[in-house]
Structure 1
């Protein structure tokens, strides 16, 4: 769903919550810690470094001789960015941090099972966790904002790409495995009117129960089909205008705090919404979501529709890319004319990176062919139907400008951005006070 951000990292939240409890002691229960680095008014504690290093090891990373030094340098760089953000008047509002925390906590509660289970494991309330994590999350958000301002809008010319590629030794050129160009047109079956009316009536019944005194949060936990918020009683946290589905936002902002909406239909299903609080251009709400399920006849209609698009494409009446942009329900690929892309934006992807189901499908196809409509499940769990175009296959090869220009261009941009970042750090060091504990002098922090 649009309002359930995939950027939320469960490991980060769990690690932060564990860190909030764990401190080094001297064996007698007395907390032992010290400042090992200072950047203006911002400090790095030894316990921070120790926890970050343990987290590094817990991820299965091999410990190298300078791993702890590299981690300390990254912590110092973060403090530099926060200090420099203060100088440059780049800031993050507390309300933005609170909204971020709300979403993180909702996600982690979903993974653990319930708010009660979370409090049982860590012996702290959700509010206590949020209070302890507030400064840490705010720092992360400021760092991300600073990173976004450094080297933004970097562009390169074809000449720069060619020059960058020319400097790579022939024996250092990367070797790419088999790559394919694959497109899809996805259709989420439309739910028939009778089924929608059933859901609408069910939601109206829940609305009446709430109006008659039943607790909204308890009903959300029991009946809402939004896994990201059901565990927290349906509460979504603060969002800005334009971040939620338009129909949802319009309903929420038309109410006074405490009011409950009639059933509202969005692309995700039917919602009962309660506005909790409004702060300027942001608002907090909670909802109960019911998602109508399509019937076999709905799926068959979707298949027939896609079959007609397949015919249009195969007879060259309309290009596949045009049809995908106009009709595909998959937002990840429709903007690319239905084609999958890799991390660089190139629309030729390694067979090692594509979904196994997709791989086994194209493994039975010939290049240039389009499948009949196939049922599948989208990344968010939605049942859908799609047709797949197998446009191109490129054999394993060593990188070259003709076949791999997009990848080489992305590497050129990254190199240019790194140069800008290096210059930024050099300049920033002259604007902030940095002091490293003598114990870590051998780490040569921020020394080229």
Structure 2
């Protein structure tokens, strides 16, 4: 969509660089690592920018079908990023540890879902989950610090309807973008349940491991070979010391009911099935190890109950006993949309309007093709991002027909562009002033880049 392009155009200069710990380029980053890429190409106070950072960002843009990006622009965005961090130190701007932890847990869950399992994630990066967390934590801390500084600088910027109209009227009529059909869509997702057959299979496997340990085999070796908890498996299933309340109740209850070196029966939790051995207690702390087996969500899942549940929920919504938004908040098992009443979001525009074109998920596109605005579909098969079998009902909330951009239908989009432009102007003024407060040096190979209009030289 051209409006997406316009929005990126006005935000381009001050967009935060993508986190270096990305999904798409995990393997590329490894293959591209070379001594030449580790060279320092710029410095901002005590922050350094490596050539590898620019190269990785560049590859990310190419993979996103944005071949016209210039490396000078990427270097400028990285320098701006480091300037914000340096000024945050000078101005004593900090972020809360709890905010970093919240972002870290969410990002790690996304990564695990994207790769299908912790094991796949570890194999893809060649690092333990703890090592990945440590790297990602530092990046998130920097990102949140930069966002806090941006909010401090431009958070109070406002726009008026007059400014929006002036911007729109300044676009030549023959250059107004054509907006394709857009729709608002909600869904309520229910996960399938693991079949009794699958559960019994996992229990039997764990009982076999227990028998083998009692006959003399090493619990730690069995954990290393068979546990689906990749991180603890490397330590023979050892989870280290935990305080009461650290583990899920089912695990903790079973572990604390054991005597040292005793092994539990198979225990089910939200993570799967555990075979637990208590190693040691120390006051209010205990140390245990386990072998974890997770269900096969592709083959061992029954969606019959989920389908019946959504059928009943759909009937309640259709007779106005319950609103779709409330039903989604209370019953949907998709945490990304439940709090928004089930509405799907466009990640680029951060709105609930989705382009009804080739960019839409094909399954959703064809489902909407047979529906009318206001319809709620019957339960449909659905596969979650992490590969779990599920079912969902879809609500076709609204539709905007294709049209040439205008203020009445597209005011929110246009105002977002104007607001971004005005914030960038405020940031530009701040950067001009802040350049004198920090040390900036750019190496000769990037000396021709017009970084912040004036700082790209080797004499600073």
Same fold (TM over 0.5): yes
Could you say which residue in structure 2 is the equivalent of 1:74?
77
Q: Is the 8 A contact 2:159 2:419 kept in 1?
A: no
Could you say which residue in structure 2 is the equivalent of 1:399?
405
Could you say which residue in structure 2 is the equivalent of 1:23?
35
Look up the SS of the partner of 1:338 in the other structure: coil
CA distance in 2, matches of 1:104, 1:182: 22
> Of 298, 314, 321, which aligns to 2:318?
314
CA distance in 1, matches of 2:261, 2:425: 52
Q: Structure 2 matches for 1:45-444, cutoff 5 A?
A: 47-48=51-52, 51=55, 55=59, 59=63, 67-87=70-90, 88=92, 90=94, 140-152=139-151, 160=160, 163-168=163-168, 169-171=170-172, 172-191=175-194, 196=199, 199-200=202-203, 202-206=205-209, 209=212, 213-214=217-218, 216=220, 219=223, 222=226, 224=228, 247=249, 263=266, 265-271=268-274, 288-291=292-295, 298-343=302-347, 344-352=349-357, 353-437=359-443, 440-444=446-450
- Whether 2:23 is the aligned partner of 1:10: answer yes
Q: Is the 8 A contact 2:192 2:301 kept in 1?
A: no
TM (norm. structure 1) is 0.68
Aligned-residue CA RMSD (Å): 5.4
Look up the SS of the partner of 2:187 in the other structure: strand
Look up the SS of the partner of 1:337 in the other structure: coil
1:91-127, Cα deviation, whole Å (9 max, x unpaired): 899x98xx999999999897997979987xxxxxx59
Q: Is the 8 A contact 1:110 1:231 kept in 2?
A: no
Q: Is the 8 A contact 2:263 2:278 kept in 1?
A: yes
Q: Is the 8 A contact 2:193 2:301 kept in 1?
A: no
Deviation at 1:193, TM superposition (A): 6.1
TM (norm. structure 2) is 0.67
Could you say which residue in structure 2 is the equivalent of 1:280?
none
CA distance in 1, matches of 2:434, 2:260: 46
1:156-215, Cα deviation, whole Å (9 max, x unpaired): 899636633542334354432111122222222344667645544544544565675435
Q: Is the 8 A contact 1:263 1:270 kept in 2?
A: yes
Deviation at 1:404, TM superposition (A): 3.4
Distance 1:303 1:403, change over 3 A: same
Deviation at 1:236, TM superposition (A): 12
Deviation at 1:245, TM superposition (A): 8.5
CA distance in 2, matches of 1:307, 1:335: 21
Segment drifting more, 303-312 vs 153-162: 153-162
Look up the SS of the partner of 1:10 in the other structure: coil
Look up the SS of the partner of 2:273 in the other structure: strand
Look up the SS of the partner of 1:150 in the other structure: helix
Could you say which residue in structure 1 is the equivalent of 2:8?
none
Segment drifting more, 133-142 vs 426-435: 133-142
The alignment covers a number of residue pairs equal to 413
Unaligned runs of 5+ in 1: 1-5, 25-31, 120-125, 277-282
Distance 1:41 1:166, change over 3 A: same
Look up the SS of the partner of 1:369 in the other structure: coil
Distance 1:421 1:222, change over 3 A: farther
Distance 1:382 1:220, change over 3 A: farther
Q: Is the 8 A contact 1:260 1:275 kept in 2?
A: yes
CA distance in 1, matches of 2:187, 2:109: 32
1:56-94, Cα deviation, whole Å (9 max, x unpaired): 796486776x9232233234334434433443364899x
